[in-house]
Structure 1
Amino acid sequence: MYRTIARRLWIMLFALATPALAVADNTNGVSPDPAGIELASVHAAVADLDSGTVLYRKHERRVVPIASVTKLMTAMVVLDSGEPLGESLTAVKRDTPAANNAFTRIRIGSRLPRGDLLRLALMSSENHAAYLLARHHPGGFSAFVEAMNAKAAALGMHDTRFVGPSGLDTGNRSTAADLLVMLRAAEEYDTIREYTQTRRFLANFQHPGYTLHYGNTNVLVYRDHWDVGLSKTGYLNEAGRCLVMVTEIDGRRIGMVLLNSFGKRSPMGDAGRIRNWLRTGHGGAIAQAARQYEQRRAAAFEQTQHAEASIQ
């Protein structure tokens, strides 16, 4: 009970935190200097979740598309609804076309328990599974999205907006700072921790009966030298490669938010650089191509900001 109260207090305090950077000593006595690490992710935030200390920030207040990181909020809304996870839901077609490629292997008309759909959305980032969870929510799709935004507001995620449950729409936007709050809130849910840690899952659909194999989109969950407590990946052209994760490093629970990273494996590489940085004070270098990518993305962001300001 006391741990739960402490977690909720941490969420409220972090949501109200100022942008000032706080750096704390790690268990090896090393005080990591932000100058000692370089990340391929354009936007990032790293925190010690036990102390509530923010260890690193990089463009953490920029509002950007977040792709399938969205599904952590989707999961919280599903679980908050109290609807039974064992209830079988029917796969239906989308009311409107998806904003981006929404390929799915789920057959229209087949059925799968709500809990299994939630697991697929979290561990394998199955977009149609997320859509079905919203469609079968009490009040329907619109009510689900409203609940997502209400949850974000309640958590103090004031720079966050959701327009759908999967993250395919670039209208789902947030900041690294807000997502660190969301990550911390999601960690309170045992089901979310369990489902995002799932390495592989065999989904047994009914009416018609068939099975589909799914794997986790975060390769770090397969590696025994990584203790991943919760994670979610994401990707859109506009959002880049994204990873949010809770992991234990030398006895410390570390929350990482890595957005708009260069290259398919770059978020995992950044996670490794963060771990090295916390242990030694040095994270290592990134490729020149990643630096150039960040420069292009930063320039594009500034152009967008100027264009929006001129319209207003």
Structure 2
Amino acid sequence: MLVAAWTAASLVIQFLVGNNIFIKAYAEEDNTADVQLFARNAILLDGETGDILYDKCSDEHRPNASTTKILTCILAIECGNLADDVTASSYASKMPEVRLGVRDGEKYTLEDMLYAMMLESYNDAAVVIAEHIGGSVQHFAEMMNAKAEEIGCHSTYFITPNGLDAQDENGVHGTSAEDLVRIMRYCILISPQKDEFLKITRTKSYTFTDNTGNRTFACINHNAFLDMMPCALSGKTGFTCDAGYCYIGAAEVEGHTYIWALLGCGWPNNKTYKWKDSRALVAFAQEHTIYTELKAPASPDIRITYSSGSSADGSTATKCRLNRTVTASEGSIQYVYKVADTLKAPVHKGAVAGSLEVYLDDELIDVENVIVSEEIADVTFKDEIIKVLYRAAM
């Protein structure tokens, strides 16, 4: 057990961004005004760092149409077996357009339904998936909301697996642009099934049959952005009367992954607004994003006290594993160590002895643990010698 006495003073080590750790630099202090978007709600996120690069009312909860299906897809991949047979229910067969046209009792594979849902955005395919994975649409919605919360979403409440406008006693089906990019980031960068998700959402066309082989279907990917820019990585379109045109997209530019969400991005006949906004955000990311490498300065030693009166106080080294990249505007980076002033032996290697806080100007951007570098017993070598001599003298 660690017994620590914390000092009020903190070790502050400051580096000016630009002195050796700038990779790129902003041309101006604030460039968000350079982007004029049609979307009512929008956000641009750096996938690797999780930093927000652009924000337009991104925390507002609103309907998000078929962009919902990215969560349906990743949840089904993680919880199901793609080779499983799935059965269309009467309820699924009654879904409105856009739909595959499944019939009550027909069987398909889960994989086929995932392609149908993500490429053509078929609403009935989403229900077939939900009923197979969750047992019912209602239970699958509960799974979706639990997964969204696990990912870190704060404004998400899903009722349907396909994103059709819906409302119940708990609220309106929808999410925020900020939550939507969190979900997409999980789908393409964090989930253990991210490769399968990318494979499905990047496929240009897909053909399959029902399990009898009597009905054949051909699906074409309606994410036109995949053909608009070579950097396009993944995405999902959406539209309902309440939501308007929506889009969740991702692109890989010069080794960096950018993710953006557009909600309320026009209504008929403005289907192309989402593509214009997407291009604008990718251009913004290319022109204005800077990368700052965070590397922890040497962490302080800590005084060690022993129970034995024959042992003089000693010290132990600590270390902090900080080695990551953040996106930030120009400013001052400060590294603030908050560590124990004294530890009482025994002390175990790897035990947490404090923290390193990283600030960009006055904003806290990272916290990392400071740990003890060595194993220290309460009985010292000197104590052992005294014991041996005492026994020899007896």
SS in 1 for 2:40: strand
Distance 1:86 1:96, change over 3 A: closer
Distance in 1, Cα, partners of 2:37 & 2:85: 43
- One-letter code of the match for 1:241? Y
1:165 aligned to 2:174?
A: no
Q: CA offsets, 1:120-151, max 9 Å, x none? A: 21222111110001111243322211111111
1:244 aligns with one of 237, 245, 248: 248
- Tell me: CA distance 1:84–1:279, structure 2 relative to 1, closer, same or farther (3 Å): closer
SS in 2 for 1:119: helix
Contact preservation (8 Å) 1:26, 1:278: no
After superposition, residues 56-75 of structure 1 pair within 5 angstroms as 56-75=54-73
Alignment of 1:1-312 (within 5 A): 30=27, 33-81=31-79, 83-94=80-91, 98=95, 101=97, 103-170=99-166, 171-187=172-188, 188=191, 189-207=194-212, 209-223=214-228, 225-262=229-266, 263-280=270-287
C-alpha RMSD over aligned residues: 2.2
| Counterparts of 1:110 and 1:30, CA distance in 2 | 59
Given residue 190 of structure 1, which amino acid in structure 2 is its aligned partner? D
Deviations 1:36-63 (A, max 9, x none): 1101111000011122221100011111
**Native 8 Å contact 1:241 1:259 kept in 2:** yes
8 Å CA contact 1:26–1:279 kept in 2: the answer is no
Q: How far off its partner does 1:169 sit?
A: 2.5
Q: 1:207 to 1:65 in 2, by over 3 A?
A: same
Q: How many Å apart are 1:191 and its aligned residue? A: 1.4
2:100–2:116 CA contact under 8 A, matched in 1: no
C-alpha distance 190-95 of structure 1, shift in aligned 2 (>3 A): closer
- Structure 2: give runs of 5+ residues left out of the alignment: 1-21, 167-171, 289-394
Name the residue aligned to 2:368: none
Q: Give distance in 1, aligned partners of 2:181 and 2:107.
A: 34
Mapped partners of 2:210, 2:182: distance in 1: 35
Q: Cα distance 1:208–1:202, how it changes in 2: closer, same or farther (>3 A)?
A: closer
Letter in 1 for 2:218: H
How far apart, in 2, do the equivalents of 1:212 and 1:268 lie? 28
Query: For residues 134 and 42 of structure 2, what CA distance do their matches in structure 1 show?
Result: 35
Larger helix percent: 1
The residue type equivalent to 2:47 in the other structure is L
Secondary structure at 1:137 match in 2: helix
Instruction: Check the 8 A contact 1:199/1:222 in 2, yes or no.
Output: no
Contact 1:244/1:258 (<8 A) preserved: yes
Cα deviation per residue 1:147-200 (whole Å; 9 max; x = unaligned)? 111111212212110111011124321111111111111113211111111111
Structure with more contact order per residue of length (Cα contacts < 8 Å, sep ≥ 6): 1
Counterparts of 2:73 and 2:272, CA distance in 1: 25
| Structure with more strand by fraction | 2
- TM-score, length of structure 2 as denominator length: 0.60
Query: Equivalents in 1 of 2:265, 2:23: separation in Å?
Result: 26
The alignment-based identity, stated in percent, is 26
